[in-house]
Amino acid sequence: MGIKLSGKIGGIAQVVTDNVTISGNGKADNPISLNEDGLNEADKYFVSESEKQKISDSIISVETDGDTISGDGKETVISINETKLNTNDKYFISSSEKNIINETRPIEFGISECVNGIILLETFKRLYRIVTSEALSISLNTSQVDLTKYVRFALKINLNQYVSLTFPENWRFNNFAIPHEIGEYIYDVQTTDGGTTWHAVLIYRNVFPNYVDESHIQIDENGQVIENPVSIANKIVYVDGEMPDDTGNGLTWATAKKELQSAIDSCIRGDSVFVKGSLTGLKYLPTTQRIAGDNTSKSFVMKNGVNIYGGFFGNEVSIYQREMEYYIQNLNLPSGVVELKVAIPKYKSILSGEVSGNSVIDDALRGCKFTEASMVNNSRILIDCSAVSTAIKINGFDLIGCCQHINSGVVYSSRPMFTDFELSYCRIYNNRTHNITTLVPLIANSGRLFNCIVNNNDIAGGLIGATSTTHSIIRNNSNNVVLRGIFINNHKEFCAICENILNFYSGEFISGLTLHCDISSNISKTGETIRRLVTENATNCTVRNNTGSAFFRCVATNCHAYNNLSGYGAGFYDCIAKNCVAKNNESIIGGGGFYLGTAINCTSIRNKSMNGAGSYNTILKNTAVWGNRTPENVKSNVFNDNESTETYSAFENEVRAGDANISLSTNNTGDSDSPCFNSLSYDAGITDAVNVCDERISADSALIDRGNSDDNNAGFAAAYDVRNMPRKDSSNIIDIGAVEFQK
């Protein structure tokens, strides 16, 4: 094989080739050419025999187990024998990588069924499942685990009927409460205090509507039609915005539809739509004109019982296979710091209202980053749920570019009382209300929000009007006209609501039941205060670093208010407050800590105001008022000119009229009548986060066992103090103040 030269000195007359690998002789009528087909697989290169031998000699053989992996890499080729792999090890990774995979929850192959609701914790199991169609009491058997260590497991619950589950009293459900609807729930359960308390965090919830779909006929094993079949999940329709056209049937990723609306239209009740995303964002535009000839009326129109899911790479067949990113926000709650972890798909499926072209981004803007002028001709309603009466899910999308006018919004229904949807695992940003004042909220006027990030939107008539908002982060939203509605008007649970900017204000900031929320750094750009922050019942909430009354005419239980600024009642304005703390607040005129209302087992320390910096015409029971000052640093604990009663309470260097009131030393520690708070800011009023007062007390405090248990004898406040610790000890006498010293 090869070329041999022949001819005279001074020039090559011709060449001789092997006419197999190389053919021709180099003359004009017979050029030299290479026949690659003549090369074998191992020799598709041209080297001399000596060079070839050098290459062979340089190869170092490797040792394999000869079973799962065979060959030495020199004489024999290395190959993998997959038949020798067991079902748990069909991958090749390092031990550290395998540990990372093992820590991912849930691990289906490690599942352990629970019998009669008894969870038997075992060190090698990580996932437990309870399947029930009957009322059941759940118990935890920890005999096989070391509770001195960090213990964590996943619990999957499948409810086949509407039943009640009873959990141990020391279980704390950190989001979405106890499962009660038919469907599947997965909780991350952990303890860090030796099993004294178990925290259950909901990481997945899929509630199935129970309905009959007459268009799908089911056949039994004898070939007979099953009457009244119950359809829970039918086909999946796939959407890929990178497809060349919309001619695919949508039944696989390879034959995916291009348009989301086309996929929705092809579905019937019980079907789902999976929508592809990308790392930088794959954008989908609405195509259905609700009003003929009006481009701004284009919307994604939802159908009864059809769920849509975004955030797919493009090869998944289950929503569990989506790769998620986690946005973490610490909730500084009175009961302690809780890590809020919001999961959003890594691959972005963007539903955009930019029907007239891309909007212009201005990063200098607060709130919505799209300029208002570039959004004028965008969609008024991005997702229209007006025809929806059967529960649906909108899950895993980025929702942007909606330009709200009257009776419109990002997710909107013209029949809000009859519409049922869940908006979950979504990012909602760069939407705005255009040049109007309206009472319709921007995001949703019905339905539920769960596990969402709502940021960088501009509003006029309110931000969120859904029936509930849970496990979400709401940040950096703004308004450019007078806010006529309510910023967030619903049930809220485990949310971070922070850094929102209001230019003008004449409504309420938060209405509806508020549980376990951290509301911080929400301010008015004009210098005026946000008039009312939390205006209905609240439990275990912190409201801090805001302008406006933290709690306004509501029932507040086990709540913190600090570093807030207002004209009156920066902490609690005309509230019924139990086990609450007002500290380091400032009111320009009166009532830095408490203004009017009633305070039971509360603590008011280091607040600032011209009059009654600690308490202004407030009924006080079992309450400590200490260290409050005027702007001139003059003692200003209590102002009372309306004969509000004060009983079993403690005041700095003052015995006030009323049953069993006591005087406290002006020294925090060192005297027999010192309150002994854990730490105090140097000055009263707003301070930096490091120096905010700590209302906990030590064993030497004069507040211990000086309260009246009859004044706090019912409900959650009678059972737990502001730190979620037992309110009574063996003495059966409660302490004065929001914190119970644990003997």
Chain segment 420-443, per-residue pLDDT in tens = 788 999 999 999 886 555 556 778
Tokens of 122: 């075992």
Tokens of 537: 């019942």
Separation between Cα atoms, residue 499 and residue 520, nearest integer Å: 7
Examine the pLDDT at 686 and tell me if it is beyond 70: yes
Determine what percent of the chain is predicted with pLDDT higher than 70.
Answer: 79
pTM (2 d.p.): 0.70
Q: Tell me, what's the pLDDT at 16? A: 67
Examine the pLDDT at 406 and tell me if it is beyond 80: no
Kindly write down the DSSP assignment for every residue of 156-201, as one continuous string.
EEEESSS--EE--TTEEE-SS-S--SSEEEEEEEEESSTTS-EEEE
* Mean per-residue pLDDT, 481-503: 74
**pLDDT tens digits, residue range 635-648?**
999 999 988 999 99
Q: Tell me, what's the pLDDT at 688? A: 92
Q: Tell me, what's the pLDDT at 218? A: 41
Q: Tell me, what's the pLDDT at 663? A: 97
**pLDDT tens digits, residue range 276-324?**
999 999 999 999 999 998 999 999 999 999 999 999 999 988 887 888 8
| Banded model confidence at residue 226, pLDDT cuts 50, 70, 90 | very low
| Banded model confidence at residue 27, pLDDT cuts 50, 70, 90 | confident
Q: Tell me, what's the pLDDT at 540? A: 94
Q: In 161-305, which ranges are continuous DSSP H helix?
A: 260-265
Q: Quickly tell me which residue has 């820590």 as its tokens.
A: 103
Weakest mean pLDDT among 367-371, 405-409, 572-576: 405-409
Q: Tell me, what's the pLDDT at 36? A: 63
Examine the pLDDT at 2 and tell me if it is beyond 90: no
Examine the pLDDT at 740 and tell me if it is beyond 50: yes
Examine the pLDDT at 584 and tell me if it is beyond 90: yes
| Banded model confidence at residue 466, pLDDT cuts 50, 70, 90 | confident
| Banded model confidence at residue 504, pLDDT cuts 50, 70, 90 | low
Separation between Cα atoms, residue 317 and residue 253, nearest integer Å: 9
Which has the higher per-residue pLDDT, 352 or 100?
352
Separation between Cα atoms, residue 483 and residue 441, nearest integer Å: 10
Examine the pLDDT at 633 and tell me if it is beyond 90: yes
Separation between Cα atoms, residue 249 and residue 566, nearest integer Å: 60
Question: Rounded to whole angstroms, what are the CA distances from 128 to 99, 140, 406, 500, 719?
Answer: 19, 11, 49, 41, 31
Q: Tell me, what's the pLDDT at 40? A: 54
* Mean per-residue pLDDT, 472-494: 74
Closest by CA position to 510, among listed 528, 524, 530: 530
* Mean per-residue pLDDT, 566-595: 96
Kindly state the greatest CA–CA separation across the chain.
130
**pLDDT tens digits, residue range 114-173?**
989 999 998 777 789 999 888 899 999 999 988 888 888 889 998 887 777 889 989 988
Kindly write down the DSSP assignment for every residue of 362-407, as one continuous string.
-TTSSS--B-SGGGTTS-SEEEE-TT--S-EEEES-EEE--EE-TT
| Banded model confidence at residue 228, pLDDT cuts 50, 70, 90 | very low
Q: Tell me, what's the pLDDT at 308? A: 97
Separation between Cα atoms, residue 648 and residue 423, nearest integer Å: 48
**Cβ distance 572 to 612 under 8 Å?**
no
| Averaged confidence pLDDT in the chain | 82
**pLDDT tens digits, residue range 531-550?**
567 767 899 999 999 988 89
**Cβ distance 540 to 516 under 8 Å?**
yes
* Mean per-residue pLDDT, 518-542: 75
Weakest mean pLDDT among 315-329, 347-361, 485-499: 485-499
Examine the pLDDT at 485 and tell me if it is beyond 60: no
393 HSE (CA, 13 A, CB side): 23
Which has the higher per-residue pLDDT, 10 or 36?
36
Separation between Cα atoms, residue 167 and residue 198, nearest integer Å: 11
**pLDDT tens digits, residue range 245-283?**
999 999 999 999 999 999 999 999 889 999 999 999 999
Which has the higher per-residue pLDDT, 23 or 501?
501
Separation between Cα atoms, residue 316 and residue 625, nearest integer Å: 60
**pLDDT tens digits, residue range 178-212?**
777 778 888 888 888 889 999 888 777 776 543 33
Residue 528 DSSP label: P
Q: Is 723 left (phi over 0), alpha (psi -120 to 50) or beta?
A: alpha
Separation between Cα atoms, residue 151 and residue 156, nearest integer Å: 17
Closest by CA position to 264, among listed 353, 357, 388, 358: 388
